Amino acid sequence: MNILREDKNAPRWIILIIDLGIALFSIVTAYFLRFNFSIPDTEFNYLPVSVAFALTTRAFSFYLFKTYAGIIRHSGFNDFQRIFFASILSTLIMAAGNVVLFYIESQYLIPFSIIVIDFLLTFFLMGAMRVSVKLLYRELVRTSTEQIPVVIFGAGESGLMTKRALDRLKEQNYNILAFVDDNPSKISKRLEGTLIIDGYELENFFKKNKVEELIIAVQSLDRKRKSEIVECALNHRVKVLNVPPVTDWINGEINVQQIKNVRIEDLLGRRPIRLDQDEISAELRDKRVLITGAAGSIGSGLVRQVARFYPEKILMLDQAESPLYEVDLEISENYGKGIGHVLIGDIRCYDRIRAIFEEFKPEVVFHAAAYKHVPLMESAPVEAIQTNILGTANLVDLSDEYGVEKFVMISTDKAVNPTNVMGASKRIAEMYAQAKNEVANKTKYITTRFGNVLGSNGSVIPIFRKQIEKGGPITVTHPEITRFFMTIPEACQLVLEAGMMGNGGEIYIFDMGEPVKIVDLAKKMIKLSGLEANKDIEIKFSGLRPGEKLYEELLANEENTVNTHHPQIMIAQVRPQDIESITSRLKELESKSGNSTPVELVRIMKDLVPEFISKNSEFAKLDNQKV
């Protein structure tokens, strides 16, 4: 028989009997201690009555506060609170009984000194019994005897809960060496017996002690400080893990399974974005909002953000049925059924999109549907034209026809001085939306530009992660290639903010922070995996792909910016567009997209976007020709 089975708990009546046994031992011991183990006859004669009175009051208070209700091996602060209050109450009852008896018989039943000693013994022994059982159980059930030395960064509530979660764990034997904190008032103090050391002494601590894991249990750390801590740990081959925000805890407690490895996304983001909640709510509340590309990374992120502002309906349009279904399930679970409506369709199909506008009459449109992979569009310009340009034109025209209030298009930094078909197609889409804004009856057309989005489908980080999991190599196109990065929530929040502040015709660009060298990103990801670059995982340089730049830009050569009230959002001052001229060229593209060669189609795109200079592409020859 396994008496340590997790599902076997001692019956409550046994715990109550043990507690009463402790109470009996405490009152008798209190007498012996008070009288130096020589109880006078006058007191000894009353001892049975005194003990019976003490046990009765203890039993009453134990029952009242349910001291026996907790699971002993999982005793916590609340259990000790119950023991304390039960002990206090029964002690007060004994003291009150003493006073009453004194007025009746002119003598005390139990000397007050014994009552005090009895209280201290009862509280201490009941608590000690629970702590002993908890510690004994923890040692007996551990399946591993090898200790894992751990340091917890953060000596606050989150850090303390993390320590307790690790202490409860049966499968592994964690040894908490220290808490680490940047708060000077906490340094050299102890938290549940564990020393708190200075965060800026972490390097020295790693040098002097063998540490296998560092768990970061502080949510308020800025990204720069967090990067410093992670870099310090990685340099000493210490694995780094993250505790999730308190809002993600289960029933107010952290589960060890929720403590995850630090991801590269945690180190590349910036300070949290502050949204103008009132303005966004005023624009979206009770509105019908159409989001194209709703199954994609940005589109689904926008769905999640928009849902927070109580729209009447979120119309989720995409042609990828399975991921769109998953987004719908998530939104229904989090915000209730009925808020989302799934629409399967292709923005290139004008009749299908018109039918959607006719039936649902959206009031706000977020256009995130697009082809975005540079090499793929370089090999298939017709697809970029039909989706990124003509599909966008369908939405732009129908938004004006059906009186949409705001049309917000998601663009890319690759539209700036484009060197590839994908970037040029997005620039042409920007130009058409901007030109349409000048002649629209009601709709305000707004464009947002930003760089690479961390963790989005097909982006470099998921690719690197898979390559690391396979043991390498990691492929980087060029040792000097750099990119701007932004997290999906950051991007979507800024799109919302910019879209709602826009008055029409603006192209908003976002503060993308500092550009990141892709090779440095690869090295850091390898380190985060506990490996070494070019030792455990090889980094190979494959050469720039067709249409690929060494660095991205957010502004074209002739563009400047104007600040807005939001510190992370600027307006790009771009050259005005003529609707008649660009419409005629789009009609030319449409008529030729089905029967022209890629070179002929790209030539028209270069006419529309003079700054489109191809790189590492078959279309570079067009730049040397007079068009």
Place of tokens 């593209």: 589
Rounded alpha-carbon distances, angstroms, from residue 404 to 83, 376, 399, 409, 553 = 65, 33, 5, 13, 31
- The catalytically annotated residue of 134, 239, 372, 414 is 414
Residue 280 · residue 500 · CB < 8 Å: yes
∠371-375-376 over CA atoms, to 5°? 50
Tokens of 401: 């026809």
Residue 224, classed as helix, strand or coil, is: helix
Rounded alpha-carbon distances, angstroms, from residue 524 to 151, 161, 433, 464, 518 = 21, 29, 40, 11, 10
Q: In what order do the strands lie in the sheet with 173-181?
A: 190-191, 194-198, 173-181, 147-153, 213-216, 239-242, 260-261
The region, left, alpha or beta by phi > 0 then psi within -120 to 50, assigned to residue 229 is alpha
Q: What are the φ and ψ backbone dihedral angles of 174, each rounded to 5 degrees?
A: -85, 135
> Is the omega angle on the peptide bond into residue 245 within 30 degrees of 0, that is, cis?
no
Q: Is 414 a catalytic residue?
A: yes
Tokens of 451: 């760089």
Give the up-direction half-sphere exposure of residue 271: CA atoms within 13 A in the CB hemisphere. Answer: 5
Decide: residue 449, CB within 10 A, 0-12 exposed, 13-18 middle, 19+ buried. buried
Tokens of 238: 């210490």
Closest CA to 11 of 77, 72, 85, 89: 72
The partner residues of 150 in beta bridges, in order of sequence, read: 176, 213
The beta strands (E) that lie in 354-512 are given as 364-367, 406-412, 444-450, 452-454, 474-476, 482-483, 485-487, 507-510
Residue 510 · residue 449 · CB < 8 Å: yes
Contacts by 104-112, CB closer than 8 A, 24 or more apart: 109/46, 109/49, 109/50, 109/53, 110/46, 110/50, 110/53, 110/54, 111/34, 111/43
Q: Which residues does the annotation mark as catalytic?
A: 414
